[in-house]
Amino acid sequence: MERSKGGIYRRFIKRPMDFTLALIAIIALSPILGVVAILVRTKLGSPVLFKQERPGLNEKIFKMYKFRTMTDERDENGELLPDNIRLTKFGRFLRSTSLDELPELLNILKGDMSIIGPRPLLVQYLPLYNENQKRRHEVRPGLSGLAQVNGRNAISWEDKFNLDVEYVDNVSFMWDWKIIFLTIKKVFVREGINSETAATMEPFKGSK
């Protein structure tokens, strides 16, 4: 019965709920979005939005939107400097408060992402997943997820993927709302729910 209820939520309720919540959030947060966009343009330049291809549901590639947090500083050969150099104090603030993630609400409206689900990682990780880890793509990726409220960058990649698959196997209305409230709590105590980059965690190189 519980699995049936979970299936109904996943098939008929989760997507409309995601769309409605994202739309409400965009309207309510529009003043903040506007101010952050102006500050990003002033302090970091244009484009204001950082776009990067990420794998989504069934490994379908989509463009994920974020506020940019790095400069375009380059060395004498024209190559971009390391992430930790280009990540400014302002950029770190955006990440620690998760303000850089707000444009992903547009991805949720489009249907690329969900409010809750496994975080969308880099395309180059796809060939590195084992069969169990690949299951994280059986649902839409999320703005936040089970792994993000259970350690984020403090846990190993394997632990993250295990939590992702655990979520896939137990998607439910109550669990989604629990993760939403835990996410809000972590943001307010400055444990931002950031996407994984070289500036915050070692790249995934495959499981042993």
CA distance readout (Å), 101 to 21, 58, 66, 142: 15, 22, 5, 11
CB neighbour burial string for 123-149, b if at least 16 within 10 angstroms, e if fewer: eebeeebeeebebbbbbbbbbbbbbbb
Indicate the pTM of the whole model: 0.88
* pLDDT value, residue 7: 85
Cα 163 to Cα 96: distance, rounded to the nearest angstrom: 22
Express each pLDDT in 29-76 by its tens digit.
999 999 999 999 999 988 999 999 999 999 999 999 999 999 888 877
Cα 71 to Cα 199: distance, rounded to the nearest angstrom: 13
Q: What percent of the chain has pLDDT over 90?
A: 67
Backbone phi, psi, residue 137, to 5°: -95, 10
Q: What percent of the chain has pLDDT over 70?
A: 91
